[in-house]
């Protein structure tokens, strides 16, 4: 599933191409994504100019004159700029006044499209936690939240607290700072909190520089695959040697999700 770095890469690869463009047509081939796209609502966007595009958590947000279009890529969603129009699983095509277009392709259809009024944007994102790459995501913010006995890995993946971290980056972040995914959040000390913040920012930033990770079929809007998976230290490396201590990387289940760790380097 695309996480923060992958969605950020899509936004960056799209922004210079579509900001200032007017939507000339929207073609909805299959409205049955995770939510149902009302064709009439889709048509409301025709004629709108895109003034801004940004990422919030794992959402891509298109700001227009009166409306906001919000897209979640789900498990396998891809937004391609001038992509092949005849591919299977193309569900939505958005055409612009300059002849260019974007294609939304999603074979598992867990993605979603939301079209809201401009004044509903704040409410839409009201239950999502802080963006981890902004300055105010710091020791004070995290210290206040690390209470109780839930494990740190499920905390990191809880978008109520931190926006955009999913299963892949949670394992990589915890390996980098030497914290076991099973540690209870209340037991994480002050030094570890600072290490955790450093690891979160470092791993996400490095992944963005590499266009994210392409595990299955993720690509950015230029059709470019991410390459950060080449730098994974633990994810999908079960049975292989830890780069630090040469013991074997293990795969365990945490809340039903595959989790990768080195039992010697992480405690």
Q: Where in 168-227 is the site for Zn ion (CB under 5 A)? A: none
- Residue with nearest beta carbon to Zn ion: 242
Site string for Zn ion, 2-41 (x = CB under 5 A): ----------------------------------------
Q: Is 267 in the site for Zn ion (CB under 5 A)?
A: no
Among 117, 205, 244, 255, binds Zn ion (CB under 5 A): 244
Nearest residue to 94 via CA among 36, 50, 55, 124:
50
Choose, by CB under 5 A, the member of 162, 242, 254, 261 that binds Zn ion: 242
The pair phi, psi for residue 199, each rounded to 5°, is -65, -40
- Find residue 54's DSSP bridge partners: 61
Smallest gap from Cβ 247 to Zn ion, in A, equals 5
Binding region for Zn ion (CB under 5 A) out of 66-74, 176-184, 201-209, 255-263: 255-263
Sign of CA dihedral 124, 130, 135, 141: positive
Q: How far is the CB of 239 from Zn ion (least distance, A)?
A: 13
Is 261 an interacting residue with respect to Zn ion (CB under 5 A)? no
Q: Give the 3-state secondary structure percentages of the chain, helix then strand then coil, rounded to 5.
A: 30, 25, 45
Q: What angle do CA 89, 93, 97 make, to 5 degrees?
A: 160
Looking at the Cβ atoms of 10 and 177, the one nearer to Zn ion is: 177
The dihedral region occupied by 207, where left means phi > 0, alpha psi between -120 and 50, and beta the remainder, is alpha
Q: How many CB atoms lie within 10 A of CB 54?
A: 12
Q: With CA atoms as reference, report the closest residue to 77 among 190, 203, 220, 192.
A: 220
- Among all residues, which ones are annotated catalytic? 2-3, 58, 257
CB of 267 vs Zn ion, minimal distance in Å: 11
Q: Which is nearer to Zn ion, 35 or 244 (CB)?
A: 244
> What's the min distance (Å) between Cβ of 254 and Zn ion?
18
Contact at 8 Å (CB) between 82 and 90?
no
3-class DSSP state of 36? strand
Q: Does 262 bind Zn ion (CB under 5 A)?
A: yes
Single residue of 205, 245, 255, 267 touching Zn ion by CB under 5 A: 245
Stretches 46-54, 151-159, 171-179, 256-264: which one binds Zn ion (CB under 5 A)?
Answer: 256-264
Helix (H) or strand (E) holding 141: helix 139-145
CB of 265 to Zn ion, least distance (A): 3
Note whether 265 binds Zn ion by CB under 5 A.
yes
Q: Which is nearer to Zn ion, 80 or 242 (CB)?
A: 242
In the complex, least distance from residue 196 CB atom to Zn ion, rounded to whole angstroms: 18
Name the nearest CA neighbour of 220 among 68, 67, 16, 7. Answer: 7
Question: Which stretches of the chain bind Zn ion, using CB under 5 A?
Answer: 242, 244-245, 262, 264-265
């Amino acid at each position: 599933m695309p996480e923060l770095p992958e969605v950020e890469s899509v936004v960056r690869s799209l922004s210079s191409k579509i900001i200032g463009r007017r939507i000339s047509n929207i073609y909805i081939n299959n409205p049955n994504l995770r939510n149902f796209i009302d064709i009439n609502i889709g048509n409301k966007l025709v004629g709108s100019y895109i003034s801004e595009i940004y990422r919030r958590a794992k959402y891509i947000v298109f700001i227009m004159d009166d409306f906001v279009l919000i897209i979640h890529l789900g498990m396998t969603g891809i937004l391609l700029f001038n992509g092949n129009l005849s591919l299977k699983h193309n569900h939505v095509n958005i055409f612009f006044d300059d002849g260019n277009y974007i294609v939304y392709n999603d074979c598992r259809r867990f993605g979603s499209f939301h079209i809201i009024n401009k004044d509903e944007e704040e409410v839409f994102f009201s239950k999502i936690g802080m963006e981890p790459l902004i300055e105010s995501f710091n020791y004070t913010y995290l210290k206040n939240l690390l209470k109780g006995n839930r494990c740190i890995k499920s905390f990191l993946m809880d978008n109520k607290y931190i926006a955009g971290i999913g299963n892949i980056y949670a394992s990589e972040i915890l390996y980098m700072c030497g914290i076991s995914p099973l540690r209870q959040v209340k037991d994480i000390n002050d030094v570890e909190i600072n290490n955790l913040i450093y690891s979160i920012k470092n791993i996400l930033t490095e992944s963005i520089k590499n266009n994210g990770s392409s595990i299955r079929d993720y690509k950015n809007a230029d059709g470019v695959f991410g390459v950060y998976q080449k730098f994974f230290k633990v994810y999908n490396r079960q049975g292989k040697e830890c780069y630090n201590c040469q013991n074997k990387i293990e795969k365990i289940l945490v809340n039903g999700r595959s989790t990768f760790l080195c039992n010697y380097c992480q405690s």
